[in-house]
Chain A
Amino acid sequence: MVAPALVFAGVMIVFPFGYAVWLSLSEVSLGQPPRLNGGANYARLASDPDFWNGLRLTLSLYAVSLGAQLVIGTWLGLLLARSRRARGLVRTVLVSPFMLPPVVIGMMAIVILDPSFGIANWILAQLGLPPRLWLSDPDTVILTVAAIDTWQWTPFVALIVMGGYLALPTDVFEAAEVDGAQGWQRFRRVTLPLLGPTLVTAAVLRSVDLLRFFDVIYITTQGGPGTASTTLNILAYRRGFEFFDIGYASAIMVTLSALVFGSVLVFARLRRAVTW
């Protein structure tokens, strides 16, 4: 009975990943079969400043975006769960950002955030605030990209939190109320611990996405200005498809995959710790 599933997993998951690992251990010249090179690509990673820059940017984007999405998403989710009016309509509106293809999000960001003709700076000007370079400022480009991703995916977290909150046993909250727990104290001592497994689930889903975040950066900045938004995904893409350095690009991607698996394992352990 499990044979079809095993075959499917082998063909669709194990083989491509195994092939990528093999390429990462090989020197790949265009038009030639790969030749194993004894892990030289991984040795190159250690001494490549672009790799370390990419790793730093990947982790920065991950931490900022995940943190913002969990905090704002939890707040929004609880607000929605407690609101009885137009809940269906609000849910529909909330779903729309993450239903949009990343290409559309990227193009929207380019138009809205262009320092010369974008509406974002026009709004700042109406508010008496100085214009910003948004995606063109090497010091803030990662924050801007994180903000775009947060705009798109916070509603997703909010819907998960709302669903989790509505499934919680009401008697716990009633008991807390009888004991005099109110406001922040109730949230801190009751709601948050009960929502722990839900939040970890949301964090796992967003972690996988954030660590392999590619499309919006590629469309909006192509990794620039300079290398200020060249995350590991962008770096690997450029090395592989623009510089034709496929073995090294595969080594970067295998390393990034290990990072993704590592983060999922950490969250899996955390989930066990917060399960009640």
Chain B
Amino acid sequence: MKRRELIGGTLSVVAAAAGGTAPARGQSGRTAFDWRRQDGQTINLMFNNHPWSQAMRDLVSEFTARTGIRTRIEIFNEEQFRARLTTFMQGRSVDLDVFMTLASREGPVFRRAGWYADLVPLLADSSLTAPDYDAADFSASIQGANTFNGQVIAVPINQEGPLFYWRKDVFQRLNIPEPRFLEDIPVAAAAIKARDPSIIPWSARGLRTAIPYAFIGFINNIGGSIATPDGKPGLSQPASIRGLEMYANLLKEYGPPGALNHTFTQVIELLGSGRVAMVYESSNEFANIMRFPNRANDLGVKVLPPGRESGVSKPAAIGWGLAISAHSRRQPAAWTFLQWATSKETQGKLVAAGVAPPRASVFQGPAFERWASEQPIRRAWADALVQLGREGTGMFQPPTERIPEAREKIGDAVQQVVLGRATPAEAARMADEELAKLQ
């Protein structure tokens, strides 16, 4: 039996009803979950700056009210977050209890270092896990991304990936058809540049380390792959080179000046302020984009269009998770927080903050449906996320445990082409050589 099935199986025999502050009777007749069992403890949480963590900061008082567990939350931008986390964990600090983690990036390395507490025993312990937690509600692909050789390292808190946003009003005004295929994007960009020089046709991530998240969709959709079937670096494959060329040329020919220093903050600022016609940026930023005037009415959003020949749309799809430090001395209290934060109830509340829920029941539930049906763009965003979850990939680099380094090499290849220092074929060959050294 696979461990994931074991988790689901374990939970399936536990009583379904719980959630109040007082113990109650479950379906099995046993006393149901006592949320106040860890009352009086204080746990330390470290989060990456993310729509989820921002929303969580506002919601966490409900957790304390329900459980009696107090929390100390620290939120840092992603780079500082990892630096601080590394310092804490390498020093075997017992002061940190819960941290956000991106398993697709650091999962193998952190797991090998022994930094993650295994959640399987906690999930299986009916005295520590609410009977209605329903771990099987997370899709297999999302939970699978957080499972390494049977060890569950984290529980998912969101799902995300880059989406294609375009200004429908600009396309209509300039009489340009909406891109249906990947190859239509450069054509549309050229038409926008020719017909209205006041608007920037295209914007996407150009910062070296941020590029692969967006770039992988271009490689896959055009029919290439980042790795060969036998797991070797695959940027030098003809279709992959075409994907590299398209991504780099869009930035070079149609992107804003200075695009090579841009990551999501600049891309969203350009889109929100109405200065760019098309962007390829994270689904996470949806709520931020909607805060700008008019964008809810004039934007379209969907997954990156498929390649004309390949018919494939396979962009990046990832999800952050919550992990418990292996060095924590308050693991039961930390696990109580994880359950509450990833419960159906809490995830339902996080939808309003633009956090795409990883639970199928929340995604398909009435609250999310009501929220999505209020605006056509919300519906389009939700549909795109469903497609992302179904077809996206968490693999941005050839197989390696040195993932951050590999992603930097890929980003470097794109930058070399944008800067005109290498042809796409040269940049791909050099990147493949470097990537092979990391395997």
Contacts and interface: CB of A to CB of B under 8 A. Distances in A.
Chain A CB within 10 Å — which of B110, B257, B270 has the most? B257
A135 B258 CA distance: 8
B407 to A, nearest CB: 10
Nearest to A237: B83
A32 B207 contact: no
Interface stretch (B52-60, B96-104, B411-419): B411-419
B256 A222 contact: no
B123 interface: no
Given A30-B90, A136-B260, A116 B419 contact: no
Place the interface of chain A in its size category.
20 to 34
A136 B110 contact: no
Interface string B93-120: 0000000000000000110111100000
B216 interface: no
Interface in B204-262: 206-209, 256-261
Contacts of A131: 257
Interface in A94-152: 114-117, 131, 133-136, 138
Contacts of A227: 412
A246 B90 contact: yes
Nearest to A225: B260
B266 interface: yes
B177 interface: no
B256 A224 contact: no
A242 B78 CA distance: 10
A116 B404 CA distance: 29
Interface string B27-39: 0000000000000
Contacts of B421: 226
Contacts of A226: 208, 260, 412, 415-416, 419, 421
Given A115-B256, A138-B419, A30 B113 contact: yes
B65 to A, nearest CB: 35
B79 interface: yes
A31 B257 CA distance: 43
B261 A135 contact: yes
A134 B86 CA distance: 33
A29 interface: yes
A15 interface: no
B429 interface: no
Nearest to A242: B404
A30 B258 CA distance: 36
Contacts of A246: 90
B349 interface: no
Contact of A225 (B261, B270, B275): B261
A221 interface: yes
Contacts, number: 87
B404 A224 contact: no
A249 to B, nearest CB: 11
Nearest to B113: A31
B86 A244 contact: yes
Nearest to B405: A243
A222 B207 contact: yes
A136 B260 CA distance: 6
A225 B209 CA distance: 11
B379 interface: no
A237 B421 CA distance: 26
Interface string B193-206: 00000001000001
A276 interface: no
B82 interface: yes
A117 B256 CA distance: 10
A87 B266 CA distance: 41
A31 B115 contact: yes
Nearest to B421: A226
B402 interface: yes
A225 B415 contact: yes
A30 B109 contact: yes
Contact of B109 (A134, A224, A237, A244): A244
B256 A31 contact: no
A246 B269 CA distance: 35
Contact of A133 (B114, B209, B257): B257
B270 A116 contact: yes
A116 B259 CA distance: 9
Chain B CB within 10 Å — which of A115, A116, A244, A246 has the most? A116
B405 A241 contact: no
Nearest to B404: A242
Interface in A223-275: 224-227, 237, 240-244, 246
Interface in A10-37: 29-32
Interface string B392-413: 0000000000101100000010
Contacts of A224: 207-208, 260-261, 415
Nearest to A245: B405
Interface in A44-98: none
Nearest to B110: A30
Chain A CB within 10 Å — which of B270, B275, B419 has the most? B419
A29 B273 CA distance: 45
Contacts of B256: 115-116
Nearest to A224: B208
29 contacts: A29-B113, A30-B89, A30-B112, A30-B113, A30-B115, A31-B90, A31-B112, A31-B113, A116-B200, A116-B256, A116-B258, A116-B270, A117-B273, A133-B257, A136-B261, A220-B261, A222-B208, A222-B209, A222-B261, A226-B260, A226-B412, A226-B421, A227-B412, A237-B83, A240-B86, A241-B83, A243-B404, A244-B109, A246-B90
Interface of A: 29-32, 114-117, 131, 133-136, 138, 220-222, 224-227, 237, 240-244, 246
Instruction: Please name the 7 residue pairs, one residue from A and one from B, whose CB atoms are nearest each other, closest first.
Output: A31-B113, A136-B258, A115-B257, A30-B113, A115-B258, A241-B83, A225-B260
Interface of B: 79, 82-83, 86, 89-90, 109-110, 112-115, 200, 206-209, 256-261, 266, 269-270, 273, 275, 402, 404-405, 412, 415-416, 419, 421
